[in-house]
């Protein structure tokens, strides 16, 4: 019988693998251990690419969850302390959601949860299992027709580098659903949780006001 190290309990000692439940670990436990071990390696590699507070691993059997993202059900392997921004970008490939501060200050990561803007860097993925998540990738129609707010941004050329654009767009879409005909000051207040490092606020507001106008017409 071969000896295989259990990655969850490894401290230099090793455990025997057997078909039964006594005298060693079961095949099922062994496979779960391998999955968990793989996740530890995966998380470790992410640490070189991302902010220092990378999520910690949890039991493999608890991690596979379903999310409703942009109208589709997505099965995803999620760690216990993983944020929604992390899941969207690094697990689901939805990189339109940006990491700016990663601490609820800049709004670059804004997405809609049941239509309401939230900082996805400050929401644990496990908490949104029964909610509808909308990202910038989910705004346009299936045939590629842009959302009215996106069209307003294109027509007004509202951003410089556009790093902050996804967050502003999602914040504006959420706000305009509650106040479709805002004054400029009201809309500015509505997206005041978002920051632009290029400080292009005048053009951003021009674009969002144009988007509000297009939304009313649509």
Residue ranges that bind ligand FES, judged by CB under 6 A: 99-102, 104-109, 119, 121, 159-164, 196-198, 200
Nearer to ligand FES, 34 or 101 (CB): 101
Least separation, in Å, of the C-beta of 54 and ligand FES?
15
Q: Shortest CA distance to 133 belongs to which of 99, 182, 96? A: 96
In the complex with ligand FES, the residue whose CB is nearer, 201 or 214, is 201
Q: Dihedrals φ, ψ of 83, to 5°?
A: -90, 160
Total residues found in the chain within this entry = 218
**Which residue reads 């805002």 in tokens?**
182
Say if residues 113 and 133 touch (Cβ distance below 8 Å).
yes
Q: Give least dist CB 205 to ligand FES, A.
A: 12
Nearer to ligand FES, 15 or 81 (CB): 81
Contact by Cβ (8 Å): 87, 46: no
Between residues 99 and 175, which has the closer beta carbon with respect to ligand FES?
Answer: 99
The distance of closest approach from Cβ of residue 103 to ligand FES in the complex, given in angstroms and rounded to an integer, is 6
Least Å distance between CB 24 and ligand FES?
Answer: 46
- Cα–Cα distance for residue pair 53/42, rounded to 1 Å: 15
């Amino acid at each position: 019988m071969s000896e295989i190290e259990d990655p969850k309990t490894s401290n230099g000692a090793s455990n025997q693998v057997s078909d039964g439940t006594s005298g060693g670990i079961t095949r099922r436990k062994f496979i779960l251990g391998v999955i968990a071990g793989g996740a530890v390696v995966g998380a470790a590699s992410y640490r070189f690419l991302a902010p220092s507070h990378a999520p910690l691993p949890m039991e493999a059997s608890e991690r596979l969850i379903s999310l409703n993202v942009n109208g589709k059900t997505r099965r995803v392997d999620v760690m216990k302390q993983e944020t929604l921004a992390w899941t969207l970008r690094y697990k689901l490939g939805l990189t339109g959601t940006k990491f700016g501060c990663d601490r609820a200050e800049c709004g670059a990561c804004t997405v809609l949860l049941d239509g309401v803007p939230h900082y996805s860097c400050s929401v644990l993925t496990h908490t949104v299992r029964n909610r509808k998540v909308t990202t910038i990738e989910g705004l346009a129609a299936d045939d590629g027709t842009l959302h009215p707010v996106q069209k307003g941004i294109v027509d007004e050329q509202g951003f410089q580098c556009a790093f902050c654009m996804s967050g502003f767009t999602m914040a504006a879409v959420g706000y305009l659903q509650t106040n479709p005909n805002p004054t400029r000051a009201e809309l500015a207040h509505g997206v005041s949780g978002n920051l632009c490092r290029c400080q292009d606020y005048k053009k951003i507001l021009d674009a969002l006001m144009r988007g509000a106008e297009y939304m009313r017409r649509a």
